[in-house]
């Protein structure tokens, strides 16, 4: 059974598909996205940035990415 909270989230997502309003704004250009994964992929492919998949933190150096990934995993535990 789907909870009320889940139904509200699904409805919000569905409404975004019709309105085109994206709550995830790119800090480097005018693009906006409906889903978090879309902005992560955008930052990686268009702006060539390293992005943490867990928290969407933008990281410049590969070693910082590994440190951030470890930190994000600790927070989830």
Per-residue confidence (pLDDT) for residue 63, from 0 to 100: 44
Q: Which CATH architecture has domain 4-76?
A: 2-Layer Sandwich (3.30)
Task: Please give the model's pTM, rounded to 2 decimal places.
Answer: 0.58
> pLDDT digits over 2-13, tens only?
899 999 988 988
Write down the domain spans for the chain. Answer: 4-76
Stretch 34-43: mean pLDDT: 88
Residue among 48, 51, 53, 18 nearest 34 (CA): 18
Report residue 33: phi and psi, to 5°.
Answer: -135, 150
Residues in the chain: 77
pLDDT 10s digits, 53-76: 777 777 765 444 455 555 555 555
């Amino acid at each position: 059974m789907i909870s009320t909270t889940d139904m509200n989230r699904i409805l919000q997502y569905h409404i975004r598909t019709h309105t085109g309003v994206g709550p995830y704004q790119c800090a480097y250009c005018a693009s906006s996205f409906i889903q978090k994964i879309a902005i992560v992929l955008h930052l990686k492919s268009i702006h060539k940035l390293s992005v943490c998949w867990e928290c969407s933190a933008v990281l410049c150096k590969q070693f910082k990415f590994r440190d951030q990934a470890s930190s994000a995993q600790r927070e989830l535990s």
